[in-house]
Every structure is written in C-alpha cells, then in structure tokens.
C-alpha cells in the first residue's frame, strides 16, 4: 500500500488577529495547520520536529490506530511528549475509515493553535455513497485569544477557577466581520462557481465551545460525521462539538452574490462563554464588488431545540456496503457520571481555598509522569491502578436541582477490558455546579450512540428505546445537559485508550479516564512493539 509522508515542523510564528500580533505555536508556520490527506488503507508517516520550548505531542483524532497506540498521541497516556529539540515519526495505517477527522496537539492547551484537518479519501476507484461533489473545501472552526494561551491556563490553574474565554471564534483562522483589522481580511472567503455541488468538511477545533454552523440562503445536506457515513438529510444549521467533524453538501443554486457563513456558540448552561460569532463568506464568481452580503441569523446561545433537531436526525447510513455493526450482547455494562466538583486547594487564594475539578464516576484523573501505554506494555508497576469504578460510587440521582457539590477522589485509574469485549457506557451528566453538555471523546474506537435522554438514566425502561439498528457512529458525543447518552463499542483494539471531555478546560480539571484493553490470543490481536524513536520521559 502507498505511504504518505508529512513533515510537521513545530515552530513559533508571529500572527496578527484582532488588531494585535503575538507569537503562536504552529505546524509549519500555519494557523490552522496543514491539511493531511491520505486514502483509506494507506500508511501515514508524520515526522514531527519540535523546535519550540514546549513539550509537544500530536493526536490524530478519530483515527482508530489499530494496534498502534504508540502513534495515538495523548501525552502521558500513550506516549511521553516530544521534548524541545527532539523528533518523533507517527506511523499509522488508516484501516476501514474514510472521511474527515482532525489532528491536534494533545498536551496542555497547545491545541488552541496546533490543529488542522485530516482528510481520508476513499480507496482509489471507490465512490462516495452520494453524488460526487464538484469541489471540496475544508472549514476549520477555532478560537483566538489576544493573550498568550499558556498564560490563560496557568492563571486559571493557579486561581483554581475557570480560565478566561477566547476573544473570538475563527473560520479557517479568521474571525470575520467582528474584526475591522486589515490582518483579518474581513474573514475567510470561499469562492464558488454557480450551479455546482460543494462538499464542506466542517471541523470544530475550538477548545471550549460547541458551535452552530450556517450559510445564508443555502441548505446543507449532511452526509458524514466523524468519518462515518450517515443517511443524508437536509438542514439549515449543523451543530459541531469540539473534536467532531461534519461533511455537508451545498448546492450553489442561488443567484450570484455574497452569502454569510456563520459559526456561533451553543451553550445551554449559565457558564461564561465566548459567544462572538465568527463569519466567512461564500462568494459566487462574477459577483460585483458592490454587492451586499446576504446575512443570516444564528440560533440563540441556548437553542437546545435546534441542537436536538440536528442530533436526532443523525443515523448511520447502514447500507449493505457500510453496515452498522452495533454490538447486541453486552459483556461490560457501565454507568459513568460526568461532571464537575469542588476540591480543597490550600494555595488557591482567589477562590478561598477551593478549586473546581471535574470527574468521571467521582474520580478526578491525575496525569501520570510515565505514559500509561508504556507502563502497561513494559509492566512498570505503580503508574496506574485498574480499579476505575464501572458504576458511580454513590447512588446517583439527578432531580432537576443540581445535587450538592461532591468532593471527588483523585487517582490514575483505568478500566480494564478483555480483548474483543462488548461494552456499553451510559454517560450521565451530574449537573453538579451547573448542568453542562460535555462532548466526550473516546480514543481508539468508534462507538454507536444508541440512546439519549433527560434526567436520570433508567436501566429498566430506557434500554427498550435504544436504537440498535442504525444509530449514528462517531468518536465524540455530547452528553446532554442534565441528561445521559448511551454508547456501545467493541474493544477490538489492544492498548490504553483515553476517554475525556473535549472541552479543554474540563479535561484539564480531570474529566478524563482510560480504558486498558488487553491483548487477544490471535495472531493479529496484540499491541505492536513501540517504534525505536519513541520519545522518552
């Protein structure tokens, strides 16, 4: 099979946005970073050279990494970071996947500026299961902080509280009409020809906000999410959570003109957010310079019904060629609460000696100093324990009023699974401190989202309503505010796989855990050995 080689030079670069200039960490001097293209079944070699003063690691978000956990990327989970001056070649093969994913730094907050698109084309000669678009374009949604992002997080960690929100969202690196500065160019412009079909590969690379995405005067046909095909449906608004991707077809069937493209925040809880709408323009060729841009209104911040309409429309394509292989018999049935908490913090003066934490089943995950995958593979004792609880340690009952704050316990705990076990996880928002939609991402697997609801998950009645036929398959899912979502996957990938909230601040606070999947007995059922240039801690 073909090999794709990429060079990622991690370098500082001065960038101007919102009328000021600051140095940011980039890949090859670009923001967003370069788009990585590969075909299904191809091998990708990305040589990452760290030329900045920070430790770096890169995650290929959504790539299954079958038996190649060494290339997954989360710092201290599957690898030690690439230290300044060092380099590492991520070596992985794309197996049974095609569509849009993203790559991003997976250490501290570096992914604020270190991210880009990862486009997996179908095998040569294999068509899309929908009419072939005339053109394709990548649309990366992100954020911009005027201050240094590292300073933002350090300040937050010291104070034991939430970090400052970003100053603007961005579309392909630019905030758009909110900014009048020449360096922002009035926003990203997508030039289109009339009478064609465009496939937009929309990626939410933002740290902290789920985003609605809309184009004035144009409907979108959703055809794929998280690199899995879905039953096509039309909508004027899509919702993309951090870490998620959505491919849409857009017909340029309107009269020549300029049409506003907008990305705005979805937040159904009273938490400080960056609610600055980022804009771009769809620019038909032949449009006069004097033509006014056609505007569009964006859904309100708390437009839960718009969000639900979109989410509830998502179904696996489940065709003969792309069947939804939902596990029907479950070996491990788990209930994980996800939410916030408050722990003592003697040094946190600004918050009177307490700090906001986050947890899964009341465990606030503590990052180890040796990568878990290494510790597992080389049998290094004392790095983690395998007692992550499969159920909440306290009787969880969400009554609509947020329960009283619970102090969490801290630990580096993993949940152990035998090779090929079938797993169901119900993720239940605790609503402690505030109800909050948590986009939870699982590394190493796609899962099926078989059910969701508000309030408490009811183990007697809710499973009867599960969709086991054509549930959407993805790698990142929003746990609804004050509700739950049920997912299923097959543990057919040996290694250590991170699962966490993809809101960066919640990950930092501890809303994360890991599954340890044992090797199987068959010839191709074991984790491969680490590459020789594997970074040392």
- Residue 488 binds ligand C2O (CB under 6 A): no
Q: Show the tokens assigned to 285.
A: 């060729």
Label residues 112-147 b or e (16+ Cβ within 10 Å = b): bbbbbbbbbbeeeeeebbbeebeebbbbbbbbbbee
By CB under 6 A, which span of 228-236, 276-284, 480-488, 497-505 interacts with ligand C2O? 497-505
Give the separation between CA 296 and CA 307, rounded to whole angstroms: 17
Contacts to ligand C2O from residues 418-447, by CB under 6 A:
441, 443
CB atoms within 10 A of CB 472: 25
Closest CB to ligand C2O among 114 and 335? 114
- Residue 115 binds ligand C2O (CB under 6 A): no
- Residue 243 binds ligand C2O (CB under 6 A): yes
Out of 17, 59, 214, 488, the only residue in the binding site for ligand C2O (CB under 6 A) is: 59
Out of 67, 98, 106, 283, the only residue in the binding site for ligand C2O (CB under 6 A) is: 106
For CA atoms 299, 240, 82, 366, the dihedral sign is positive
Minimum Å gap between C-beta 310 and ligand C2O is 21
Minimum Å gap between C-beta 48 and ligand C2O is 16
- Residue 500 binds ligand C2O (CB under 6 A): yes
Q: Which residue has the tokens 């579309």?
A: 171
By CB under 6 A, which span of 154-162, 190-198, 390-398, 498-506 interacts with ligand C2O? 498-506
Label residues 520-533 b or e (16+ Cβ within 10 Å = b): eeeeeebbbebeee
Closest CB to ligand C2O among 39 and 59? 59
Where in 267-411 does DSSP place strands (E)?
Answer: 278-284, 293-294, 332-344, 354-360, 363-365, 409-411
Give the separation between CA 74 and CA 113, rounded to whole angstroms: 16
Give the separation between CA 217 and CA 211, rounded to whole angstroms: 19
- Residue 474 binds ligand C2O (CB under 6 A): no
Contacts to ligand C2O from residues 337-366, by CB under 6 A:
none
Minimum Å gap between C-beta 210 and ligand C2O is 14
Closest CB to ligand C2O among 54 and 398? 54
- Residue 142 binds ligand C2O (CB under 6 A): no
Out of 266, 447, 497, 498, the only residue in the binding site for ligand C2O (CB under 6 A) is: 498
Give the separation between CA 424 and CA 515, rounded to whole angstroms: 13
Q: Quick one: which of 286, 283, 310 has its CA closest to 299?
A: 310
DSSP state of 322: S
The site map against ligand C2O for 75-104 (x = CB under 6 A) is -----------------------------x
- Residue 368 binds ligand C2O (CB under 6 A): no
Longest pairwise C-alpha distance within the chain:
69
- Residue number of the CB atom closest to ligand C2O: 61
- Residue 61 binds ligand C2O (CB under 6 A): yes
* Binding residue count for ligand C2O, defined by CB under 6 A: 11
- Residue 67 binds ligand C2O (CB under 6 A): no
Give the separation between CA 297 and CA 488, rounded to whole angstroms: 37
Residues that bind ligand C2O (CB under 6 A): 59, 61, 74, 104, 106, 243, 441, 443, 498, 500, 502
């Amino acid at each position: 099979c073909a090999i794709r080689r990429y060079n990622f030079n991690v370098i500082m670069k001065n960038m101007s946005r919102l009328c000021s200039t600051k140095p940011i960490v980039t890949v090859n001097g670009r923001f967003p970073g370069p788009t990585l293209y590969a075909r299904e079944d191809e091998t990708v070699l990305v040589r990452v050279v760290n030329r900045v003063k920070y430790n770096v690691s890169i995650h290929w978000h959504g790539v299954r990494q079958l038996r190649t956990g060494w290339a997954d990327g989360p710092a201290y989970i599957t690898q030690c970071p690439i230290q300044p001056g060092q380099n590492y070649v991520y070596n992985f093969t794309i197996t049974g996947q095609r569509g849009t994913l993203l790559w991003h730094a997976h250490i501290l907050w570096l992914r604020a500026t270190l991210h880009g698109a990862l486009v997996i084309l179908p095998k040569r000669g294999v068509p899309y299961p929908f009419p072939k678009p005339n053109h394709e374009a990548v649309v990366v949604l992100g954020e911009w902080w005027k201050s240094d992002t590292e300073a933002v997080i350090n300040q937050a960690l010291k104070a034991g509280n939430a970090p400052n929100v970003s100053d603007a969202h961005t579309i392909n690196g630019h905030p758009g009409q909110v900014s009048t500065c020449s360096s922002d160019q009035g926003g990203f412009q997508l030039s289109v020809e009339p009478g064609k079909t465009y496939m937009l590969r929309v990626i939410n690379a933002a740290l902290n906000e789920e985003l609605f995405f809309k184009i004035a005067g144009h409907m979108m046909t959703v055809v794929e999410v998280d690199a899995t095909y879905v039953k096509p449906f039309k909508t004027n608004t899509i919702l993309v959570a951090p870490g998620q991707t959505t491919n849409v077809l857009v017909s340029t069937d309107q009269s020549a003109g300029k049409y506003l493209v907008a990305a705005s925040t979805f937040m159904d809880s009273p938490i400080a957010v960056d609610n600055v709408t980022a804009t771009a323009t769809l620019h038909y060729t032949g449009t006069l310079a004097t033509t006014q841009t056609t505007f569009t209104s964006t859904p309100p911040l708390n437009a839960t019904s718009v969000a639900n309409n979109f989410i509830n429309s998502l179904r696996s394509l489940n065709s003969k060629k792309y069947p939804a292989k939902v596990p029907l018999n479950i070996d491990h049935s788990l209930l994980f609460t996800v939410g916030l908490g408050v722990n003592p913090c003697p040094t946190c003066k600004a918050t009177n000696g307490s700090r906001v934490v986050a947890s899964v089943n009341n465990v606030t995950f503590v990052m180890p100093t040796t990568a878990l995958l290494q510790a597992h593979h080389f049998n290094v004792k004392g790095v983690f324990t395998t007692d992550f609880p499969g159920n909440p340690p306290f009787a969880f009952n969400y009554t609509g009023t947020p329960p009283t704050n619970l102090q969490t316990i801290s630990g580096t705990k993993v949940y152990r699974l035998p090779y090929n076990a079938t797993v169901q996880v119900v993720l239940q928002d605790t609503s402690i401190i505030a109800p909050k939609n948590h986009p939870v991402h699982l590394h190493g697997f796609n899962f099926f989202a078989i059910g969701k609801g508000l309030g408490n998950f009811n183990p007697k009645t809710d499973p009867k309503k599960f969709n086991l036929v054509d549930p959407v398959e993805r790698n990142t899912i929003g746990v609804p505010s004050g509700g739950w979502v049920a997912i299923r996957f097959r543990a057919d990938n040996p290694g250590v796989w991170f699962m966490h909230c993809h809101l960066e601040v919640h990950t930092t606070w501890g809303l994360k855990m890991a599954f340890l999947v044992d090797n199987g007995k068959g010839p191709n059922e074991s984790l491969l050995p680490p590459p020789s240039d594997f970074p040392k801690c």
